[in-house]
């Protein structure tokens, strides 16, 4: 069934007298044409907004400056025009390639999620079909928040250009990234999925980073040295890394190196030891690790060839986004518990950073 036929079915349903178009505002559509139930909890599921998947900057500007009607009219008038690829497109394309590793054994799914209405969906489906993206499911909520539907689709990773939706997802305990503007002339091969992560407040909890922010480098290093053999608590993307490790193992059984991961962190010696021991404790591997100690991350990420990089610091995201697709990780809106820093080697209390 073509994209046009799919949206034709959607419109037929909306125009049924039992479900008038006026009630379209909070509609979730799962475009699946099989009578066999699908358990998405068995897949690695990425929920991605249309503005993360495609470059909708012009359309978003029309919406913000001229309103919903002008936006809807524009989408309908241009529904045969293909959308340019967005920041998250390469990631979606690469993750879906995992399904070709072993025919008949799907491991990943991508769900398009949007606050747009079903009536403006045709351009989205036309574009996914043109680019050959194996995307069959969509949540189109007609202006309603997306976060309540993330659990319904068993989403493991959510990407969006809308900060409110990303924050709501993070608050719900789902790994979520705020997509940054795509690098210019971005084009990356998808034969191997490459994902890079920051460490603190991304893969690991933010407790150590809070010490650094509040008490300075000396206190941070003392705390990490004292706790070197204590595994770091999980951060918001710990489950994502574990899921990727399972997918890596799946690829290896088929004789393919389908995923490569990298840790790109501002930590350096002696704070590296706790990270390495934590990954051992988790029984997951990081293929490449970079302890930069203040060196800029952007060129390392470019050399790695990341399809996407996740970092919680806006300054790192801004520089990285010029060279590789990047998403900022927002902190969960929960008041953090104070962390007691360790004493310095001479037994004195660590000095606070100079503001």
Collapsing DSSP states into helix, strand and coil, what is residue 247? helix
Q: What is the tens place of the pLDDT at every residue in 85-100?
A: 999 999 999 999 999 8
Instruction: Please tell me whether residues 134 and 208 are part of one structural domain.
Output: no
State yes or no: pLDDT of 17 exceeds 80: no
Residue 3 has pLDDT above 90, yes or no: no
> Mean pLDDT score of the chain, rounded to an integer?
84
Is 335 within the bounds of a domain? no
Say if residue 78 is in the same domain as residue 31: yes
pLDDT tens-digit series, residues 288-302: 999 998 899 999 999
Before 135, cis peptide (omega within 30)?
no
Under 8 Å CB-to-CB from 47, ≥6 apart: which residues? 110, 111, 113, 139, 146, 150, 153, 155, 157, 158, 159
Boundary-marking domain end, from 179, 210, 239: 179
Contact 198, 208 (CB under 8 A): no
**For the segment 47-85, what is each residue's pLDDT rounded down to a tens digit?**
999 999 999 999 999 999 999 999 999 999 999 999 999
Residue 323, in any domain of the structure: yes
The half-sphere exposure of 355 on its side-chain side, counting CA atoms within 13 A, is: 3
Task: Kindly tell me if the per-residue pLDDT of 320 is higher than 50.
Answer: yes
DSSP state of 188: -
CA distances from 145 to 149, 162, 167, 219, 271 (A): 8, 10, 11, 41, 40
What mean pLDDT comes out for the span 265-284? 93
Residue the block writes with tokens 């009578």:
35
Q: Tokens 């340019």 sit at which residue?
A: 84
Do 211 and 140 share a structural domain?
no
Q: Which domain holds residue 240?
A: 193-328
Are 197 and 50 members of one domain? no
Whether residue 233 is found in the same domain as residue 129: no
Domain boundary, last residue among 148, 179, 210: 179
d(CA 3, CA 72): 18
Beta strands in the chain (DSSP E): 44-49, 108-114, 137-140, 157-160, 175-179, 193-197, 259-265, 288-291, 308-311, 326-328
pLDDT tens-place string over residues 109-128: 999 999 988 888 899 999 99
Whether residue 10 is contained in a domain is answered as: no
Is 344 inside any structural domain?
A: no
Establish if 343 belongs to a structural domain.
Answer: no
Residues 19-33: tens digit of each pLDDT: 333 334 444 544 444
Q: Is residue 334 part of a domain?
A: no
Pair (224, 288) in one structural domain? yes
Domain check: are 138 and 225 in the same one?
Answer: no
pLDDT tens column, 214-263: 998 888 899 999 999 999 999 999 999 999 999 999 888 888 888 999 99
Query: 38 or 196: whose pLDDT is higher?
Result: 196
If DSSP codes are grouped into helix, strand and coil, which group holds residue 348? coil
Is 162 annotated in the active site? no
State residue 191's pLDDT score: 82
- Count how many domains the chain has: 2
**Pair 245, 143 in one domain:** no
Q: Which of 33-37, 134-138, 351-355 ranks highest by mean pLDDT?
A: 134-138
Is 142 within the bounds of a domain? yes
Are residues 71 and 134 located together in one domain of the fold?
Answer: yes
What distances in angstroms separate CA 355 from CA 214, 218, 315, one per listed residue? Answer: 10, 14, 17
pLDDT given at position 35: 53
Which helix (DSSP H) or strand (DSSP E) does residue 330 occupy? none
Cα–Cα distances in Å, from 214 out to 218, 272, 335, 349, 354? 11, 20, 15, 14, 10
217 and 155 both lie in a single domain = no
* Shared domain check, 200 and 150: no
Residue 354 lies in a domain: no
pLDDT at 22: 35
**pLDDT band at residue 102 using 50, 70 and 90 as cut-offs:** confident
Catalytic residue, chosen from 156, 198, 200, 298, is 198
CATH number of the structural domain spanning residue 88: 3.40.50
C-alpha 84/C-alpha 90 separation (Å) is: 12
81 with 47, same domain: the answer is yes
Of 179, 207, 242, the position where a domain reaches its end is: 179
CATH number of the domain enclosing 286: 3.40.50.1000
| Tokens standing for residue 52 | 């993360």
* CA–CA distance, 341 with 106 (Å, rounded to integer): 46
């Amino acid at each position: 069934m073509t994209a046009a036929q799919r949206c034709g079915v959607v419109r037929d349903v909306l125009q049924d007298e039992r479900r008038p178009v006026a009630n379209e505002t909070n509609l979730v559509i799962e475009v699946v044409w099989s009578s066999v139930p699908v358990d998405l909890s068995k897949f690695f599921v990425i929920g991605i907004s249309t503005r993360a998947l495609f470059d909708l900057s012009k359309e978003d500007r029309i919406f913000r400056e001229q309103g919903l009607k002008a936006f809807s009219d524009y989408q309908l008038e241009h529904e045969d025009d293909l959308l340019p690829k967005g920041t998250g497109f390469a990631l979606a394309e690469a993750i879906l390639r995992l399904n070709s590793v072993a025919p008949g054994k799907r491991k990943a799914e991508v769900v398009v999620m949007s606050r747009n209405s079903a009536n403006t969906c045709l351009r989205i489906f036309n574009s996914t079909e043109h680019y050959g993206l194996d995307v069959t499911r969509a949540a189109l909520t007609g202006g309603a928040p997306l976060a309540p539907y993330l659990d319904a689709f068993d989403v493991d990773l959510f990407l969006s250009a809308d900060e409110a939706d990303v924050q709501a997802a993070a608050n719900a305990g789902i790994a979520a990234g705020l997509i940054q503007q795509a690098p210019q002339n971005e084009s990356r091969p998808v034969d191997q999925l490459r994902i890079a992560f920051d460490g603190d407040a991304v893969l690991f909890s933010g407790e150590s980073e809070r010490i650094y922010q509040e008490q300075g480098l000396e206190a941070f290093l003392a705390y990490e040295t004292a706790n070197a053999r204590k595994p770091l608590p999980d951060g918001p993307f710990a489950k994502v890394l574990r899921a990727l490790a399972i997918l890596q193992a799946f690829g290896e059984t088929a004789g393919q190196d389908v995923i490569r991961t990298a840790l790109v962190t501002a930590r350096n010696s002696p704070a590296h030891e706790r990270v390495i021991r934590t990954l051992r404790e988790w029984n997951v591997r990081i293929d490449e690790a970079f302890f930069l100690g203040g060196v800029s991350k952007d060129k390392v990420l470019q050399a790695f060839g990341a399809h996407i990089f996740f970092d919680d610091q806006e300054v790192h995201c801004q520089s990285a986004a010029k060279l590789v697709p990047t998403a900022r990780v927002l902190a969960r809106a929960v008041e953090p518990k104070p962390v007691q820093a360790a004493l310095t080697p001479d037994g004195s209390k660590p000095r606070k950073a100079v503001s």
